[in-house]
Structure 1
Amino acid sequence: MNGVNVAIDILIIEDEGEVLEGIRTALQQLDPAIGHIYAIGNAEDAREMIRTLFPRIIITDIVLPRLSGLELLDEVMQMPNYDPKVIVISSYNEFSYAQRSLQLGALDYVLKPFDKTEFSQKLRKIVGMIQDEDRQRFEMQHRIEHAQMGTKMLMDQYILSFCTKKTQLQEHIYHRLQLWNLTWLTTSSYHLMAFGVSGDVPESDKDMELQLFSLGNVAGETMESFHSSYLMKNVHNRWIVVSAYPDLEEMMEAIRHNVRKYQKLELHFGVSGTMFSFQALYDAYEQSIQALRWAAANRKPELYYQEMKVDGQGQATADINERCTAALIGGDRDGIIEAVRDKVESMVRFTQIMHRKQLAQSCLDWIMEIQALVNEKSGIYIDQISLSLWERLECYESIDSVKHELCEYFEDLSAKVTAQLTGSGNAIIEQAKARIAEEFDKDITLQGIADGLAIHPVWLSHLFKKETGQTFSDYVIELRIERARRLLRESNLKIYEIASKIGYLDLQHFGKIFKKRTGMSPKEYRYGK
């Protein structure tokens, strides 16, 4: 039924042999459009046949043993996803019968005896109608599939452009991501995962394209079970997955299992470190590709970028930004020195830096990345880099002097960040408490309060626990239950009104929480039982 010129099956429901033969003769003139012709003499058996075969055309008499043709038609037209073309035949020239037939969806009402040539013309029109509908449906599906392919290609090119060129998140980019349901790239931590087939590459381009197509189909269908994930192919015929799904290993093993099962192929995977910002797509992409190359060269089924070794010395490279950020926020001077050393040596050894300005620019780019991470993790905005640091970096005398300048800058920055975090913690929590007190009857969330205070929710959660000894959610619940206690004892409000006043729209949920916190139901508490 999805293609064009599909054979059309017909069911005849008629208990008079002479009429049945007349219909058969008329149908034979329509060959080859007609497929199978089924004939049956009662509506009960026809009903079961319809549910099994779903004929495209039904020709039924009205008067049949036990169940009438109109009663059968009433049942058929209520079946979901089934819309047959129906002709009702009858010996009764009564308007009510014809009217009821048309009301039930019949296309025509034919009186017995009928002219075979005229009846054939009616059937030919109905067959043509079905063929036109099938053709329109096929063309529409074809256009939809082409539009989807075009959209997918556009999306792939768009996302890949951010993977191959560092790009700051801008409003028009966010709107495009929003249109494609990819805003999780701007709100969640994520990884990039590159994978390819291990073993020999197909000799012909056609075989290569077929292998890639099959691999992409299996991987794409597998990933439908994993939210916040996107699959695309790069220009070097490697499949790339961008994913904020929390269990990346589960996804990787699912893809590997299904490709092995359906395509008999083995895969190599390269996985980036955890990224926390949209603009980090470039770094994540580079890391995943490097890790994939390393995995393939060393015949490893998968490799995480942080496991890669530099010059065989066992020095980890993928986690430098994370280590530097953690050391900076935590006031760890030794950690800062170690991260700076690793990063500068990595830039000198593994990037094509030809002169001082290039190294200075790379260092400044790295500082901006670290400052962005600090902002994301702590909510503290950091001032722009001073021009004097830029000038000193461009005039460095040795690699050690570059390290020294960076260490001094980060140590000074660390002192400012830790002082601000320590000194402002209590004030921030007091502001948060005030906002909660004002809005406790609404849908309060950690993210909403953090947004109102212009700080990161993770840092607010950390501060809340540190300053109050409670988690954010426990504090909100305690405040609400305390208010409920007072209202239960001091007001005549109904219990459901009290629940609504403190932010609980679900009365049963409110009752469970209240009893868990107080040991009594709201009703028991009100009457002092």
Structure 2
Amino acid sequence: MNKGNTSSVAVKHRETSISAPRGRTLAEMIRSGPAPSEQLKELLAARGLHTCFSYPTLALFEFNAAELATNAGIGGGHAPSDLQNMIERHAPGNCAVFMDEIGHISVLFSWDDRAAIVRLHALLQSYYSRIHSLTITAGIGNPCQRLSELHLSYTQAANALKHKFYRGLAEVIYFNHVSPYTNTANYPEDKEDELFRLIHDGQPDGIEPAVEEFYKALLQDGPLQREEVNNCTIQLLIGLELRIKASIGQTGSAVRQDMTSAIHLQTLTEVKRYAACCLKHLAELNGSNENLNRIIIKKALSCMEGEYEKATLHYVAEKVYITPAYLSTLFKLNMGVTFIEYLTDIRINKAKKLLKTTHLKNYEVAEKVGYSDPRYFSQIFKKKAGLSPSEYRDSLEWPN
């Protein structure tokens, strides 16, 4: 990306952007409605930002909040500032970068530079996914004739971000590429009936395509607000559970799914996968809650063993389609230890193997088993093994 003679502008931007009130003033002025173009130019100039744009456009960048909440590598409170600094370093020089009061990083650019904004997103996504296992979504509003219309582009970019539920995470979403929401949800009862038949007859292989057909029918008139999709998903899962219970004459809870998990899923693809998994369990378990819990724990353990370096409570819970709180409770009841205690044992055992069989440095071992802080890794290792990583390696008999 061409920095040209913009290094002084970028440095000045970083110096002035530490002033939070000024940042909020610029964002609030744009968000609140039409503002005189000259007033916006003066404010941009006062902050050392670029002021001339051809068809000014706003892009909004945000982290996946669910990932950020459970990420130990980058503190949630500092993450927006970290992202802002990264964007300031790598954005084209003729952009203005600022943060709004809800943590979005806004990039004001000329419409002709939109390809550079897409490349910027790709660079950011590559970095944060590799270093912190985080995803970044960007929403881009429509271009404006003048700066005084930026409030429209901001609103459009924010609405584009909401469509990540349909378009997926780690994407660049243009407002002019998304469909308007439809107002009414027509619940496809015939598709629920088909799913009931498959579950009742013990045909789990047909459930996944039937779930696809359910959501295809639900959304045939256009995208629904996320809350409506959640409501219909909960209606589907609870309704089918009750129907299966009634069909086999059960009066108690047949299959106690943690239905609220659907509310916390980030994309429609995840919702479909979650619904299909729940309904397959329903078909396979013959009404046994204990069997369901065993299957969930077995899958969780498999995930922890196979992906220990990036496993977190939230990550594993997503893999088995339940909430982190529910997985934590199940884990303690079934395994006799907490989730983090079990994961720590896995990681330390893997670290011991690496210390014994490789010449990796201690910090490299720490990274490979999921610890970004080598000092914290050493503390945990010594607590579990009774020796520091270096002492443990020295105690081994290495072949000549």
Larger Rg: 1
The TM-score by the shorter chain falls in which range?
Answer: 0.3 to 0.5
Q: TM-score, normalised by structure 1?
A: 0.28
Taking CA–CA contacts closer than 8 Å with sequence separation of 6 or more, which of the two structures ends up with the larger relative contact order?
A: 2
Q: TM-score, normalised by structure 2?
A: 0.36
